[in-house]
Chain A
Amino acid sequence: MLRWFGVVIASLGLLAGQPAQAQERFITVASTTSTQDSGLFDHILPLFTQKTGIQVRVVAQGTGQALDTGLRGDADVVFVHAKAQEQKFVEDGFGLKRFAVMYNDFVLIGPASDPAKINGVKDIASALQAIAAKGSPFVSRGDRSGTHAAELALWKAVGIDPAKPQAGNPQGGNQNWYREIGQGMGAALNTAMAMEAYVLSDRATWLSFKNKGTLQISVEGDARLFNQYGVMLVNPAKHPHVKAQNGQAFVDWLVSPEGQAAIGQFKIDGKQLFFTNAGQQGA
């Protein structure tokens, strides 16, 4: 029996060691699905690794989950887009310091059939009101992500609680027009396409999404659709094992002219997805 356990532990040691990879320097970054799915990391990370020799392993989760991962010490760096939550993260001592990195915007995506008749509307508030009034299907991520947080903030701003039945839904709008799916942006877009529903998306994911079907941008350009990204090193005081030096190197690189240039150069269909604003006041 003991012989067996010896073999088991030896093999576990072999696996956990993973000789070749254990020698590599790497950091773990908890980030969002929007940054991953858009292809940004595939573009900028090789540049960072080339310069520093540090491999970056990205665990892509919703913003809420990413912050949670940093809180538990399972990541070295957190890179998300929910400013209020990021600031709280630093205040509570889990993050060392927050740096603004880049921004883009959200867009309201909708089906070509446009049941709520909001295509081309410039005011997000009236668009949302129209959707709620008509009971047109709306897909929500419902996963504590940055996009979800932004979406909820917008509903709150127009004074609508989408989970509650809306007063007087004419034209046969059903009560179940608001559909929380608890999944990432890609899944939400897939679902919206299948249901012919509206969905709030970040522009980057939308542009790189390959299954657009009959979906199109319904509303864009409203100032309230602004989407800021920030990065933080997980506080080594809370989690001593955090790779503080390499993690900070990544944070520094992101806000450095080199990193910012790399981010700015990332384009899909000739369109830039993320606009850099490190060091900008109030970002």
Chain B
Amino acid sequence: MTANGRNAPKPAFGKRAHGLWLAPFLPYDGPMMDNASPFMEALALIMRLDPVFLGIVALSLRVTLTAVCLTALIGLPLGALLAVSRFPGRSVAIVAINALMGLPPVVVGLTFFLLLSRSGPLGGFGLLFSPSAMIIAQASLVLPIVIALTRQTIEDLWANYREYLQSIGMGPKQAIMTLLWDARFSLATALLAGFGRATAEVGAVLIVGGNIAGVTRMMTTAIALETSKGDLALALGLGIILVGITLMVNALAFGMSRIGVRHAG
């Protein structure tokens, strides 16, 4: 990172680090503020709206929001379809999707790395090391969650609504629209859960994105990189923002269910 003139001369370093865990809180010879702990430097970075820093946050949000939107487009109808349909092997499908929720992100990353590489079957699109690849990887991670939660919610609602909807002549396929809208608050919570998972993950996007500066460097991968470079201030700053976003998402999910009950019963 050259945004702050990291090549400036540093004063002599005279402290002893009592183990790695203490490092963030000890004074260190960072370039901006002498004898300021990385934590304070991190806060300064945030306050200053450092452009590289902001770029990383913006990219992360863009990638994750796009991934969640894609997941919603595919996962909500699929989950609802699974909920109302009856076909042989349905139980197997449900178990499989539930199991996929726990898919290790690095496995997803590796799979898409092999698929999207120029030497792989989908190489023609040239998607490896691009934000699109990260969007695809994150969407794949979140999709099972959305499908499984949607299926559960819609199935419960369908049990409640089925007789009534059938009595006015609505078939299962048409009912999906009604069910999805009526379950909107629970589904929004499911999407927020997916968002939370995508935001927190680092393995998949690191492998398929390549952590390229300014192009595929997201909050989580940047934290990994800056930590390995020993630049704890930036890592901490990003970490603070990341935790902040996670808290906000959870607050939103909570608020949503409350609003839902209050406004629609």
A binds B: yes
A-side interface residues toward B, CB under 8 Å?
Answer: 1, 4, 7-8, 11-12, 15-16, 18, 21, 28, 33, 37, 39, 41-43, 57-61, 71-74, 183-187, 189-190, 193-194, 208-214, 239, 241, 267-270
Check if B119 sits within 8 Å of A72, measured CB to CB: yes
Docked complex Cα distance between A18 and B131 (Å): 9
Docked complex Cα distance between A214 and B127 (Å): 43
Docked complex Cα distance between A33 and B224 (Å): 13
Closest approach, in angstroms, between the C-beta of A13 and any C-beta of chain B? Answer: 10
Docked complex Cα distance between A67 and B118 (Å): 14
Check if A209 sits within 8 Å of B77, measured CB to CB: no
B16 at the interface (CB under 8 A from A): yes
Check if A72 sits within 8 Å of B117, measured CB to CB: yes
Docked complex Cα distance between A185 and B1 (Å): 17
Given the interface pairs A1-B77, A59-B210, A267-B7, the reply to whether A183 lies near B70 with Cβ below 8 Å is no
Check if A210 sits within 8 Å of B2, measured CB to CB: no
Interface 1/0s, chain B 64-79, versus A by CB < 8 A? 0010011001100100
**Cβ-defined partner of B212 (8 Å) among A58, A211, A239, A268:** A58
Segment among B103-111, B190-198, B228-236, B256-264 that sits at the interface with chain A: B228-236
Segment among B17-25, B85-93, B152-160, B240-248 that sits at the interface with chain A: B17-25
Number of B residues near A (Cβ < 8 Å) is 46
Given contacts A42-B2, A210-B232, 8 further A-B contacts (CB under 8 A): A11-B66, A72-B118, A74-B128, A210-B230, A212-B230, A239-B118, A268-B7, A269-B7
B220 at the interface (CB under 8 A from A): no
Chain B residue numbers with a CB within 8 Å of A7 are 73
Closest approach, in angstroms, between the C-beta of B35 and any C-beta of chain A? Answer: 15
Check if A39 sits within 8 Å of B228, measured CB to CB: no
Docked complex Cα distance between A186 and B234 (Å): 15
B129 at the interface (CB under 8 A from A): yes
**Cβ-defined partner of A16 (8 Å) among B69, B132, B210, B213:** B132
Check if A208 sits within 8 Å of B117, measured CB to CB: no
Given the interface pairs A72-B118, A211-B232, the reply to whether A8 lies near B7 with Cβ below 8 Å is no
Docked complex Cα distance between A116 and B225 (Å): 31
Docked complex Cα distance between A59 and B213 (Å): 9
Given the interface pairs A39-B7, A59-B129, the reply to whether A73 lies near B119 with Cβ below 8 Å is yes
**Cβ-defined partner of A190 (8 Å) among B30, B210, B228:** B228
Closest approach, in angstroms, between the C-beta of B117 and any C-beta of chain A? Answer: 5
Docked complex Cα distance between A59 and B215 (Å): 10
Chain B residue numbers with a CB within 8 Å of A11 are 66, 69-70, 73
Chain A residue numbers with a CB within 8 Å of B28 are 210
Closest to B173 in A: A1
Chain A residue numbers with a CB within 8 Å of B9 are 269-270
Is chain A's interface secondary structure helix, strand, loop, or mixed overall?
A: mixed
Check if A18 sits within 8 Å of B132, measured CB to CB: yes
Docked complex Cα distance between A163 and B59 (Å): 42
Check if B6 sits within 8 Å of A74, measured CB to CB: no
Check if B73 sits within 8 Å of A15, measured CB to CB: no
Given the interface pairs A15-B131, A211-B23, A270-B9, the reply to whether A4 lies near B229 with Cβ below 8 Å is no
Chain B residue numbers with a CB within 8 Å of A268 are 7
Docked complex Cα distance between A269 and B135 (Å): 40
Interface centre among A12, A41, A189 (most CB of B within 10 A): A12
Docked complex Cα distance between A33 and B118 (Å): 22
Docked complex Cα distance between A239 and B124 (Å): 11
Docked complex Cα distance between A59 and B129 (Å): 8
Interface 1/0s, chain B 88-102, versus A by CB < 8 A? 000000000000000
Given the interface pairs A60-B211, A239-B118, A241-B118, the reply to whether A15 lies near B135 with Cβ below 8 Å is yes
B178 at the interface (CB under 8 A from A): no
Docked complex Cα distance between A46 and B119 (Å): 30
Docked complex Cα distance between A182 and B20 (Å): 19
Chain B residue numbers with a CB within 8 Å of A183 are 228
Check if A209 sits within 8 Å of B229, measured CB to CB: yes
**Cβ-defined partner of A214 (8 Å) among B16, B125, B227:** B16
B126 at the interface (CB under 8 A from A): yes
Check if B118 sits within 8 Å of A57, measured CB to CB: no
Given the interface pairs A4-B73, A58-B212, the reply to whether A28 lies near B129 with Cβ below 8 Å is yes
Closest to A270 in B: B9
**Cβ-defined partner of B227 (8 Å) among A58, A74, A190, A241:** A190
Chain A residue numbers with a CB within 8 Å of B230 are 186, 189-190, 209-212
Chain B residue numbers with a CB within 8 Å of A43 are 2
Interface centre among A61, A211, A268 (most CB of B within 10 A): A211
Chain B residue numbers with a CB within 8 Å of A8 are 70, 73-74
**Cβ-defined partner of A74 (8 Å) among B30, B77, B117:** B117
Chain B residue numbers with a CB within 8 Å of A1 are 77
Chain A residue numbers with a CB within 8 Å of B213 are 41-42, 58
